[in-house]
Amino acid sequence: MDEPAIRTSGLTKHYGATRALVNLDLEVGRGEVVGCLGANGAGKTTLIRLLLGLLIPTGGRAEIFGLDSQRQTVEAHRRLAYVAGEANLWPNLTGEETLHLLGRVQGRVDEPYRAELIERFELDPTKKVRALSKGNRQKLALVAALMVRPELLILDEPTSGLDPLMEQAFRHCVGEARERGQSVLLSSHILSEVEVLCDRIGILRDGVLVEIGTMAQMRHLSALIVQVTFDDRVPDLSGVAGVSMVEVEGRTLTCQVKGPVEPLLQVLAGAGVHELLSREPSLEELFLSHYGPGSPREASGDAH
């Protein structure tokens, strides 16, 4: 039986009294691209570092292609490549020297693809790392990971510092990886990137995976966005079942509706509706519903 690319069960990490990751169960299938969203400190990087065996879990386990990430680290690493949000490379090595070294440590490199990537990312391999800008260092780290053609790519905010053109090049590479059947775990703050690239998206909050699914599933389960323009007075919707995040601007009201829309329609029926629009939430709205005003985080007083 084919093991999934990533499987965690009850994965937990505490730093003293701080609970960075709590009882996380996650599965990334082969050939699947999964995005991971969350505010700063939500536990995304902790999750990735646990998967890579750089951190020791407080509880639970993580597997890469069925290999225990703590006990079979080297075997697991043969099948993956990782890009960190900040490329900490050796400043006195040139780009070419860095790629040569990392390729030798990895044990395999697709040389023609490496040359193609260098061209695609417009990288000057003769420059020393210390002379490269943050974005160019990030490009070097991306080439080092992609040139291996690994079965699994683990990417932690891989496009930080990249210009929009290079971000496009990155998206193209991830698309290619998916077509080749490679699996990807992508942590990013760029929601459009996640929305475009990922088959499924997980949202982490305070170390807990609060939601995971495809965009369609998440939209189905979450609130509908309703915008109503009234002829005259805007009615009070505060007590209506399922309605939240009400915002009023002039005669226009915007709110979210979770569950049946009937209670709202009953109130609107006699309120002189001039125009009514409804749409499914964007990823940004889905994300903010877990973090923004009125979210469970805000309600529990966790928001800063």
Binding site for another protein (CB under 8 A): 49, 52-56, 73-75, 77-78, 80-82, 84, 86, 88-94, 96-97, 100-102, 104-107, 124-128, 130-131, 144
73 versus 252: smaller Cβ distance to another protein: 73
Which residue number, 148 or 228, has a Cβ lying nearer to another protein?
A: 148
Residue closer to another protein by CB (options 148, 226) is: 148
Q: Kindly state the smallest distance separating residue 56's Cβ from another protein, in Å.
A: 6
CA distance 186 to 174: 10
Q: 111-120 and 134-146 helices cross at what angle (nearest 10)?
A: 160
4 touches 27 (CB < 8 A): yes
Token pair of 216 as six digits: 């369609």
Per the CB < 8 A criterion, the answer to whether 9 and 60 are in contact is yes
Min dist. Cβ of residue 271 to another protein (A): 51
Q: Between 144 and 228, name the residue whose CB sits nearer to another protein.
A: 144
What is the nearest approach in angstroms of another protein to the Cβ of residue 146?
14
**CA 204 to chain CA centroid, nearest Å:** 9
* Cβ distance to another protein smaller for residue 78 or 171: 78
Least distance CB 92 / another protein (angstroms): 8
The whole-angstrom separation of Cα 126 and Cα 94 is 6
Question: In a 3-state reduction of DSSP, which class is residue 139?
Answer: helix
Name the DSSP letter for residue 49. Answer: H
Q: Could you tell me the smallest distance in angstroms from the CB atom of residue 157 to another protein? A: 14
Regarding beta strands 67-68 and 18-28, do their DSSP bridges make them parallel or antiparallel, or are they unpaired? unpaired
Q: For another protein, which is the closer residue by CB, 130 or 180?
A: 130
* Sheet containing strand 59-64, strands side by side: 18-28, 6-15, 59-64, 67-68
Residues 6+ apart with CB under 8 A from 132: 95, 140
DSSP H or E stretch at residue 287: helix 283-291
Contact 8, 24 (CB under 8 A): yes
CB of 67 to another protein, least distance (A): 12
Minimum Å gap between C-beta 153 and another protein is 12
Which two tokens mark 211? 């939601």
Q: Would you say 54 or 303 has its CB closer to another protein?
A: 54
Tell me how far apart the alpha carbons of residues 233 and 159 are, in angstroms, rounded to a whole number.
47
